[in-house]
Amino acid sequence: GLSQVNYNRVMSAIASYCGSTAVLVSAHQSIGVPQPLKMYGTEAQKNKFMPRFAQGAISAFALTEPEVGSDPANLSTTAVLSEDGSHYILNGTKLWCTNGPIADLLVVMALTPAKIVNGRERKQITAFVVEGNSPGIEVLHRCDFMGLRGIHNGLLKFTNVKVPAENLIWGEGRGLALALGTLNAGRLTLPAACGGLAKACLHIARRWGNERVQWGSPIGRHEEGSQKLAFIASSTLAIEAVTWISSIWVDRADVDIRIEAAMAKYFCTELAWDIIDTTLQFRGGRGYERAASLKARGEEPFPVERMMRDCRINKIIEGTSEIMRLFLAREAMDPHLKRLGVLLKKSSSTGDKLQGALGLVGFYATWLPKQFINGSLFAGHSDTGTLAPHVKFVDRYAHKLARVLFLKMGRYQQALEQKQMLLARVVDIGTELFAMAATCSYAIHLEKTGQKGAISLANHFCTLATRRVKASFKALSDNDDGLGNRVAADILDGKLR
């Protein structure tokens, strides 16, 4: 099969032409049956199902339910093993299942009987391969969306669906881990699709910037137009950089890329939305007009409005931007929380807390000074050429971010998880720094291979990103979060209408 890099090249090309086709392929290949089977399936399962995909079978991924969005704890679909152990009986409803209405095979997440772990009941979310034509599967509704009008997405009901026991993937209770592992591939497919969209926007904007003349010169030469073009071009390079570097790490297969995959998904989908919004504004009324209407009156039918409608979902699927920020914040805090765990537990004995405190002193005695004494400040970064100041900025502010997160954890302790806006800014800073480092590295590589102009674009992106990072740091202490919380509470309480 294709490597992650080459698969993403294909997805980028598809997305540059049609968002609906890209989503169909992604739902089938990135999170549908092939990926979890490749990662977690038995040889028997692979031999049974994989040849069917080579022959054109379509797959889907069914996790979301009417009452289950980002929190799988509310999962209600059940799978009960038959008395003879030959099959499971599946019952439940799945919502927003892309490819579901036309799928030959589906990965379905369901609850198998709970287990008692350390005296407590623990839900068991389990993954199954389900035949799309199984008796008892019904398409209750075909969903219709703002964009992606070409996809097949629906509300599916499973009523006493028989699933062979050998179709269980990886073991009971491992469905959530399987879903999260599979989503890493899906989260890297979205950045690739965003890159294709961004390139299409750049093509449209370049053409329009040269051809549209106002007040005696092309609008791309006017300062407003120039800034938009520069933003689109440099942001496109950044999306490419983050996508390809993350994809290369996946292909190495020896790197845990959960954080990078989530960052790539978050960064690229947010930036792609800004790119398409800027492109539509640059095109003016022609950006808002449908391609068919433009063609009917003899103009170039650039489908910018369709691209915008199709792009909007990217900030929602595979984990909303808000969920990505919380996930990334948790991952960033996790090493510290593990060390603080003994101290934070009310049930810990005094002796355990004392031993834990001594361990913390030993760890932070070396960790914390490193965040203040940054060796890179004394390095010349000669190998990074004119981008050296940006590389030094990334190093310096990465240490600053580590210090800030440490201090905030000390101040808020367990309550920090409820400070979502603070965590969002921390994640935004970390994501921007990651993107800056990736963009500099990618630009240097492109220049070495003879692709001129990449350094200039990287410099522009990093200059803008530097301003955003500094603004986010300032907002950690100077913000209006409290005011917004109070106003929202008054709205919910009916005091403001």
Alpha carbon distance 274, 269 (integer Å): 9
Question: What confidence score (pLDDT) does residue 377 get?
Answer: 41
Confidence of residue 35 (pLDDT cuts 50, 70, 90): very high
Mean pLDDT of the chain: 91
> Strand 105-117 to strand 59-62: parallel, antiparallel, or no bridges (unpaired)?
parallel
State the sign of the Cα–Cα–Cα–Cα dihedral 359, 365, 367, 368.
positive
Question: What confidence score (pLDDT) does residue 406 get?
Answer: 86
| Interval 139-153: pLDDT, tens | 999 999 999 999 999
Confidence of residue 366 (pLDDT cuts 50, 70, 90): low
**Count of C-beta atoms within a 10 Å radius of residue 231:** 20
Give the residues across from 87 on adjacent strands.
164
> Strand 153-164 to strand 137-142: parallel, antiparallel, or no bridges (unpaired)?
antiparallel
Question: What confidence score (pLDDT) does residue 108 get?
Answer: 98
Alpha carbon distance 352, 343 (integer Å): 8
Which residue out of 260, 305, 318, 432 is catalytically annotated? Answer: 318
Higher pLDDT, 367 or 295: 295
| Interval 161-214: pLDDT, tens | 999 999 999 999 999 999 988 887 778 899 999 999 999 999 999 999 999 999
Higher pLDDT, 9 or 368: 9
pLDDT of 428 above 70: yes
* Interacting residues of 278 by C-beta distance below 8 A, sequence separation 6+: 201, 205, 228, 231, 232
How many Cα atoms are found within 13 Å in the side-chain-facing hemisphere of 318?
30
Question: What confidence score (pLDDT) does residue 1 get?
Answer: 73
Q: Look up 211 and say whether it is catalytic.
A: no
Q: What is the DSSP string of 43-59?
A: HHHHHHHHHHHHTT--E
Tokens of 360: 């913390």
Alpha carbon distance 474, 344 (integer Å): 29
Q: What is the DSSP string of 244-275?
A: HHHHHHHHHSSS--HHHHHHHHHHHHHHHHHH
| Interval 323-342: pLDDT, tens | 999 999 988 877 665 655 54
| Interval 368-391: pLDDT, tens | 556 555 544 445 556 788 999 999
Helices assigned H by DSSP within 253-349: 258-283, 285-288, 291-296, 304-311, 321-344
Q: Set out the domains of the chain in order of their start, with CATH numbers.
A: 15-177 (2.40.110.10), 179-322 (1.20.140.10), 346-488 (1.20.140.10)
Contact 72, 40 (CB under 8 A): no
Give the residues across from 43 on adjacent strands.
none
pLDDT of 297 above 90: yes
